[in-house]
Amino acid sequence: MADPQTPDWVRDAVFYQIFPDRFARSVTLPKPRHLDEWGAPPTYHGYQGGDLIGVVEHLDYLVDLGINAVYFTPIFQSASNHRYHTHDYEKVDPMLGGNPALRRMIDEAHARGIRIVLDGVFNHASRGFFPFHDILENGPNSAYLDWFTVKAFPLHAYDAEKAPNYQAWWGLPALPKFNVESPDVREFLWGIGRSWIEFGIDGWRLDVPSEIDDDEFWREFRRRVRAINPEAYIVGEVWGDAPRWLQGDMWDAVMNYQFTRACLAFFIGEDVNREELGKTSLHPLGPTGAEAFRRAIERLIGFYHPHVTAVMLNLLGSHDTARFASLAHGDVSALRLATLFQMTYPGAPSIYYGDEIGMLGGHDPANRGAFPWHKPESWDTDLLHEFQRLIALRRGRPALRRGGFRFLEAQGDVIAYARQLGDETVVIAINAGRGHRRVDLALRDVLPDGSILEEVWSDRTVRVAGGLLRGVELKPRSGLVLARPAPSPP
């Protein structure tokens, strides 16, 4: 098989994940009256009324942060605040502003150089999805009987005392699973994938796509999408290894939860909140320390084709995990160090909305709080500025986006690694420990003797001698970035 061809723009992307009901609520968009107060403790079923126009009104905030791609959790019409229970795949939820709001959001985002990726929930629909509702109404006489796998009538769709007598995701009656063997279902889902690309989105994040156990379905999905936009990004939600789908004929990448697990183990380590971790597939954490981190990262880099590694969606948290800082029991230094690594590692970094200002939250629904636009005094502005600085570092250094990666050191609490692209070299050293560290970094196969490296964000320089950078000083819970030469202005 030929080398996988993945979207070039993703190599330069810094993603921001938005949960639409909780990011921003525009006063210009009419809403139902029965909404929770903005900033109220998040609940499983309550709406706080965020919308796409609210996102438009804060696009300049994202630009200032350095974001150039946004991944939205589902936006299509649904009777749930998370909208994974899709009622209508052809309509943006009216509470979000409907299709016109998406049109405006795409246009204004693209004008700022920001790409838009939507969440595609194609494994299952909802009880309100019209073909399933038709079965509820008409039973065995429904015209849509083959869209789902029904075992008996009447359907136990709303009877809490009885298990659903139709195939449903994880046995949840609210989520009837599509029968993708049906030609009509296949054409419908492929058509949805194609039509929103035609509308102007830049890619799809696929919800639980491994549960559509049909490679030809995904091959045709890719063909339909890429026929409209050859640079469309297709990224799947898989929490483990995913080589089956990443050969170049189905998806481009996956949400890199293996990266997440490695970062949790090294930057938080034994102090991780195991109760919250245990609510996700990130449990068990695995071995901690620099040596284990090196093994985990080198395995990841070697596991996939370089074109795939270059576009993996590297995240520290999402709507399906407790926030990283909460898993660290509020230790923001863990988030700072992990973000430094994330922004200097191959692939596309993804920030979960609000992490950059220190938002906290345990597992769902606590991790889905409203962005506190109304309480700017609650923001950790030092953390925000650190995110801005690290994102700017990534975007200003081609080697950090497209260069090779190699470890220089991994012992105890210290890691060091180099990124190289042509004549540009960046060396990063991180001390995750609580004490000072002094290390010698071997650069014999990286840079010739006499090479000078500049410490980013300061005027200090160091020189390679005898194949080494000698006596590199690392403060507790800190990172150091050294680079040569200074890049041209972006």
What is the DSSP track for 435-458?
S-EEEEEE-TTTS-TT-EEEETTS
**Residue holding tokens 């890619």?**
203
The letter for the amino acid at 73 is T
Q: What is the pLDDT of residue 488?
A: 53
Q: Considering 21, 51, 202, 237, which one is annotated as catalytic?
A: 237
User: Residues 6 or more apart from 388 whose CB is under 8 A from it?
Assistant: 64, 65, 66
Q: What is the spatial distance between Cα 128 and Cα 126, in angstroms, rounded to a whole number? A: 5
- pLDDT mean by block of 10 residues, the chain; 490 residues: 93 98 97 96 97 98 98 98 98 98 98 98 98 97 98 95 96 97 98 98 98 98 98 98 98 98 98 96 93 98 97 98 98 98 98 98 97 98 98 98 98 98 97 97 95 93 95 97 71
**Residue 325 CB partners (closer than 8 Å, separation 6+):** 331, 332, 334, 335, 355, 358, 359, 360
Residue 304, phi then psi, degrees to nearest 5 = -115, 160
Give the angle subtended at the CA of 401 by the CAs of 317 and 392, to the nearest 5°. Answer: 75
Q: Name residue 236's beta-bridge partners.
A: 206, 254
Instruction: Quote the pLDDT of residue 459.
Output: 85
Predicted confidence at residue 486, as pLDDT, reads: 57
Active site residue 207: yes
Q: Which residues of 257-292 are buried (b: 16+ CB within 10 A; e: fewer)?
A: bbbbbbbbbbbbbeebbeebbeebebeebeebbbeb
> Which are the contacts of 36, defined by CB distance < 8 A and separation ≥ 6?
43, 46, 47, 48, 49
pTM of the predicted model, to two decimals? 0.97
Asked if residues 356 and 65 have their Cβ atoms less than 8 Å apart, the reply is yes
Cα distance between residue 52 and residue 109, in whole Å: 11
Which residue's structure tokens are 């399906």?
320
pLDDT at 428: 98
Domains of the chain: 8-123+178-396 (3.20.20.80), 403-484 (2.60.40.1180)
Active site residue 473: no
Taking CA atoms, 311 is separated from 302, 375, 454, in Å, by 14, 35, 28
Distance, CA of 289 to CA of 459 (rounded, Å) = 31
The interaxial angle of helices 183-199 and 215-228, nearest 10 deg, is: 30
In one-letter notation, the amino acid at residue 319 is H
User: Residue 345, SS3?
Assistant: coil
CA distance 200 to 198: 5
pLDDT at 365: 97
* CA–centroid distance for 99 within its chain: 24
Identify the three-state secondary structure at position 288.
Answer: coil
The rounded distance, in Å, linking the Cα atoms of 293 and 431 is: 13
φ, ψ (nearest 5 deg) of residue 102: -65, -40
Q: What is the pLDDT of residue 2?
A: 85
Catalytic residue among 51, 202, 207, 413: 207
* Cross-strand pairs, 411: 414
CB atoms within 10 A of CB 48: 21
